[in-house]
Each structure stands twice: as structure tokens, then as C-alpha cells.
Amino acid sequence: MNYTLDHFNYDLPKELIAQTPASPRDHSRLLIYDRSTRNITDDYFYNIGKYLPHNTSLVVNNSKVEKCRLLFNEGKIELFITKAINDRVVEALVRPGKKFRSGKEISLTDHIKAKTLSVSEDGIRTVELSHSLDDDLFQPFRHTPFPPYIESDESFSDRYQTIFAKDIGSKAAPTAGLHFTPELLNKLTALGVEKKEVTLHVGLGTFAPVKSDTIEDHIMHSEWYQISAEEAEALNQSKSVTAVGTTSVRVLESAVDKGGKFNACSGETDIFITPGYQFKSVDHLITNFHLPKSTLLMLVSAFTGYEEMKTIYRHAIDQKYRFYSFGDAMLLL
């Protein structure tokens, strides 16, 4: 079947977009979908151990969200840094665009200036800053890059990090991991579930909107990932693999060879997983509920089947699950 962008659209009542995280973290709801029986079960995340195979490896993304959203002049000027080329030259989404014309220098504060070196076709600016990005001058202007559908509230900045976040570099949280607590991980370990860590720094590849009607024409931005030799070898010995989040899926599917063997590697991945894709490494998936027309929804559709994805989302909306980054989760078996 040839899928268009409209195939991945759905109507979501605005009140189902979660504005605050569950408290405690593992008290979010959990939808369990068994692909072999097509049965749906409703439960809570703290009970996930009842459904996970006890011999599975739980693969989490340990990337840490950086405060890459810089707001100046009471929020009227914004630089959302998508990539640091060096300590002073960055690529950024900007607002308002007319202030960041190529060759133009503007004052962000009395002490910080920014010169636009170039403007790409997709509007991303290459900007040279007057000071190093790690200078303390920037600290008062740094904000957590909450997605636009969540009202920014820095009191939730810690809740927008997973408990296993280590390597700073993400522009958005790997949100499926937000549901875990130390206590829950300990319970899963006692059951025989082993946590393994990979890294993928979430960037434009994950959250850039799809603009082409034919999804095959969408070009993914690449994102940096890494899997260590130790973790690759451990996964090669695993009976099954449960990916925590679509970002972990992208690492695993980028790091496995045609024979299903994981290899230590790092670099850039632009893997784009859509219906019809044959998974080589992932047996089960924990994920949140994703935006319409997103590459993440397409990945889930590839894992469950397109019609099955539609059934799951209809059920979630009917049962008033909470959606998106601070929302509830599903376990796809």
C-alpha cells in the first residue's frame, strides 16, 4: 500500500494533551497491545512487570536534554539551537526570522551579539555568537525545550529528564523513558529484566514535521547515536529485546547487521521506519502516544501494522488516555 501523509492523521480532543506529568512517574496509565492476539489491556505503568517477558533486555536511551532554547528580550527573540558547530558557531531555529538575515548582526543583550552567517532552504540559521556558548552570560536565558503543545514551566524541567539521563545532547526528551522510577527498575531487575543503555541525541530527525504528501519523499535529519561494545555483546546474548521509545528503536535498527547481530558503533543515523519495514532487532516496544502525521507514528505503525495502530489510537482516545510527551504509555508485545 502506498501511504500518504493523511493516512497518519487523526483527531485528538485538546483536553487529552497532557500538560503535566504523572506523579509519581510510574503512575501514568499503560495500554498493553498483544500483536499475536490483538488484545488490548488497560493498566498502570507501575504494573508493567506483569506483562514484560522476564528474560527481556530493556533498552533505554540515556541521552540528556540540554537547555537549548535561548530566550531574549522577554521572550521576543528566540534561538533554538539545533547543533553546535563549535563553541561560538551554532545552527538554530530563530524567531523572528526577519531579525536574522544573512550577514546581519543583532544585539541579544547589552553584552551578547549574534551574526547570521547563512540561511538554509529550510530556514535554519548558521549563527556566530560573540561569546562561547558555555559562557555564564547565557545561563539566565536558557530554557528547557518543552514542545509547543506544552505550556513552558521550568518547575517541570527535571521531570522532562529520564532518571537514567547521562550524556547531554538532546533537543527533546526520549519520553517513553520518563515513566520509570528507581523503584520500578529495581522490581524489574528482580524479575530478570536487564536494563541496557544506548544513546541517541534527539534532534530534528525525530520531531521535524513531515511536509511531503508522499511519505517516502520525506528526508530525515540525521541524529548522533552510539552503542558500546559491552552493550552490543550483552544484547547479542539476550533472549528478547524491549526498546524503550522510538529513539532506542532507531539506535538498535541502525546498529544491527542483516544477520541480526549487534555491533558497537557510533555516528549519524537518518533511518526512517515506515509501514512495511522489517524489524531486525526489536521484539517489544514501550512508547508514548505520538502526534498526527509524525515520523514517530509511522514507526509505531510499522511495528503494529497500520490498521492495528488505528485501532489502538481509537481505543486510547475513547478511554481518555493522556497524549504526547507528558502523557501515558503503551507496551506493544
Domain ranges of the chain: 5-65+155-332, 69-143
Distance CA(330)–CA(273), nearest Å, equals: 19
CATH topology of domain 5-65+155-332: QueA-like (3.40.1780)
Give the three-class secondary structure for 22.
coil
Q: What DSSP state is assigned to residue 25?
A: G
pLDDT in tens, the chain (333 residues): 789 999 999 999 999 999 999 999 999 999 999 999 999 999 999 999 999 999 999 999 999 999 999 999 999 999 999 989 999 999 999 999 999 999 999 999 999 999 999 999 888 999 999 999 999 999 999 999 998 899 888 999 999 999 999 989 999 999 999 999 999 999 999 999 999 999 999 987 666 778 888 888 788 888 999 999 999 999 999 999 999 999 999 999 999 998 889 999 999 999 999 999 999 999 999 999 999 999 999 999 999 999 999 999 999 999 999 999 999 999 999
What are the DSSP calls for 100-142, one per residue?
S-TT-EEESSSS-EEEEEEE-TTSPEEEEESS-TTSGGGGGGE
CATH topology of domain 69-143: Thrombin, subunit H (2.40.10)
Note the pTM of the prediction, 2 decimals. Answer: 0.93
